[in-house]
Structure 1
Amino acid sequence: MQNGHEWRPLEIGPADVRAEASAEGLSGYLKSSVDLGDLLVKEKALVFRGFGVEEDSLGPIIDELLPNRAAYVHGNSPRTKVGQNVYTSTEYPAEFVISMHNELSYAHRWPTRLLFFCAVAPATGGATPVVDGVKWLASLDDEVREAFAGGVRYTQNLHGGRGLGKSWQQTFETEDREEVERFLTEAEASWEWLRGDALRVTHERQSTLRHPVTGVEVWFNQSDQWHPATLGEDAAALAKVLPADELPQTVSFADGSPIPPEYVLQVRDRGLAAAVDVDWRAGDLMLIDNVLVGHGRQAFTGERRVLVAMSS
């Protein structure tokens, strides 16, 4: 185990575990290995490299690593479902960096594990940066940490089929309004059906979280990704012409007061500065503890196909 300053994911290859360099070899190791959950909590992220895994041999490995795969319900990232609760990692344009975040930290229920699989490596760039959530929290100014102590409020405006951002049908993977309402009731969210079959959802969430096993406190919210100050020139221009309550997604402090732009810019920039890049080779897999570790994506060129699955 590396110290906190030098932390990076633990890389595991066939020679490290005396396994055959094949998908079957990796699957066999996972079936017979020591408790993978303990190893993951200790190391925070694991990279399996050199096993020659291909997309059509991925199923048994995912079943070992994520025995209870969850759907990407209430997710705000553009993705395509390619298998049984397996998705493209993101379809955000290649030229943009995706800042650090913990998957679904804005939701009432988030995955504890994420698994990434590289089917096609990009020509250049495209690494998945990962950040130790303890280090990310510690990197923030006291003023910022204290301001976020009361939590944050997220608001989504989801259209009914035509409009900016994702539709509520895509977001909740259903066409049934009653199913959506049941989900939001369980999530302790507020919602309102609007004209044109649109849906507005509001929910208050924590800004930090303690890991259920280790008890360490980590930064755990996506305020920077929901704030127009971090979303580029086009989004900033949109925010100037549209009222805040009509943007696809917005964020404030939990009491409704605005979050200063300089706070979310600090969160974004220091998270990226504290991260380490995991460069992809075709066949690589990475398993992360979604509470202990945030992740993002570097810009890239060429074709990049990275799949993701998650479990509670």
Structure 2
Amino acid sequence: MASTAAWAPREIKAAEGGGPEELLRRVDALEGGLTDALTREKALVFRGFGITPDTLDPVLDRLLPNRLAYVHGNSPRTKVGGNVYTSTEYPQEYTISMHNEMSYAHAWPARLAFFCQITPGGGGATPVLDAALWLRSLDAQVRDAFADGVRYVQNLHDGYGLGKSWQDTFETSDRGEVETFLKGAGAEWTWRRDGSLRVESLRPATTVHPVTGTEVWFNQADQWHPAGLGDDTAKELAQILSEDELPQSVTFADGSPIPAEYVLQIRDRGLEHAVDVDWRAGDLLLIDNLLLAHGRRPYTGDRRVLVAMSD
């Protein structure tokens, strides 16, 4: 659905013949510097600078000074370089709903960079959404219901099963490293006889941007809830697993169920207010991960978008 929002990402276009070096010069020339510009604009789109996988690293080094590994990430991705990953590997005919990266975790990236390596055959935009607008768009009843936060549950298999393994999730096969991470994250966990790992994490539903003081919707309840998967997928999973056995699920903080109608409102209003960023090979999108949520529109043909993140 087309958005009526006045806000849109700031586009920075290359001069004729400009390359990655010009992009870096343009970044250095931003008023107040990159950090101030990104806080002010929420998102920057760089177009026409001829970025390729071979020239991507120096650009990311400037935009993301401390690239992070995708540890404790729940999305299926492939690592393709120095803390550079494929965007979520989800069937191309489906929409990926709006979310702030790793808002279910105890720590999350402050910035995300998306690089288009292969232009989509059709569709495939990355929608971005003002997370404060998302919060305001929800009915007061829904906002109030989430006041105490949410409880995320992960069932991570030991190499075979639905969803991700704990080894892929934490990028290690050392149980001690996993436990050290989870202890630091304030999570609860249980190792099971079959080698799988169950993790429960209590997190807030909103957060406040450290610079602007803006309160934003900041959780992934709709993506972790069966209702957010669509009726057919939810029914198929229900025939295989109980809700307590799903690879991932979510409840209110006290363990009570989140009504499906709340989940659908959150998902649908997020998509309704989003602004699409269309892709051509070489484009790069930089976003503030607290101020903006993001997703993916369905597409046809090929599409390859890489993502990296930093604190």
Q: Which TM bucket (shorter chain)?
A: over 0.9
Deviation at 1:31, TM superposition (A): 4.0
The equivalent of 2:256 in structure 1 is: 257
The equivalent of 2:92 in structure 1 is: 94
Give the count of matched residue pairs.
306
Deviation at 1:237, TM superposition (A): 2.8
Deviation at 1:245, TM superposition (A): 1.6
Is 2:27 the partner of 1:26? no
One of 49, 52, 56 as aligned partner of 2:50: 52
Deviation at 1:241, TM superposition (A): 4.7
Bigger Cα displacement from structure 2, 282-291 vs 5-14: 5-14
One of 156, 159, 169 as aligned partner of 2:157: 159
The equivalent of 2:271 in structure 1 is: 272
Query: Is this contact kept in 1: 2:20–2:49, CA < 8 A?
Result: yes
**AA aligned opposite 1:295:** H
Distance 1:43 1:246 in 2: 42
**AA aligned opposite 2:9:** P
Task: State the percentage of identical aligned residues.
Answer: 65
Deviation at 1:236, TM superposition (A): 3.1
**AA aligned opposite 1:23:** P
Distance 2:199 2:235 in 1: 22
Distance 2:233 2:268 in 1: 19
The equivalent of 1:215 in structure 2 is: 213
Query: Is this contact kept in 2: 1:20–1:26, CA < 8 A?
Result: no
The equivalent of 2:193 in structure 1 is: 195
The equivalent of 2:307 in structure 1 is: 308
The equivalent of 2:296 in structure 1 is: 297
Deviation at 1:113, TM superposition (A): 0.2
Cα distance per residue 1:242-273 (max 9 Å; x no partner): 22221100000001010000000000000000
Runs (4 or more) in structure 1 with deviation over 3 Å come to: 31-34
Q: How does 1:65-214 map to 2 (within 5 A)?
A: 65-214=63-212
Query: Is this contact kept in 2: 1:70–1:311, CA < 8 A?
Result: yes
Instruction: Mark the CA change 1:151 to 1:77 in structure 2 (over 3 Å): closer, same or farther.
Output: same
Distance 1:255 1:99 in 2: 25
The equivalent of 1:284 in structure 2 is: 283
Deviation at 1:181, TM superposition (A): 0.2
Distance 2:24 2:44 in 1: 15
Residue 69 of structure 1 aligns to a residue in which SS? coil
The equivalent of 1:247 in structure 2 is: 246
Deviation at 1:308, TM superposition (A): 0.2
Distance 1:241 1:308 in 2: 33
Query: Is this contact kept in 1: 2:92–2:299, CA < 8 A?
Result: yes
Aligned CA RMSD, in angstroms, stands at 1.3
The equivalent of 2:11 in structure 1 is: 11
Distance 2:242 2:156 in 1: 15
Residue 70 of structure 1 aligns to a residue in which SS? coil
Residue 286 of structure 1 aligns to a residue in which SS? strand
**AA aligned opposite 2:95:** V
Distance 1:230 1:51 in 2: 37
**AA aligned opposite 2:145:** A
Deviation at 1:20, TM superposition (A): 5.5
Residue 56 of structure 1 aligns to a residue in which SS? coil
One of 34, 37, 43 as aligned partner of 2:35: 37
Query: Is this contact kept in 2: 1:154–1:250, CA < 8 A?
Result: yes
Deviation at 1:240, TM superposition (A): 5.0
The gaps in structure 2 that reach 5 residues or longer are none
* TM-score normalised by L of structure 2: 0.96
Residue 203 of structure 1 aligns to a residue in which SS? strand
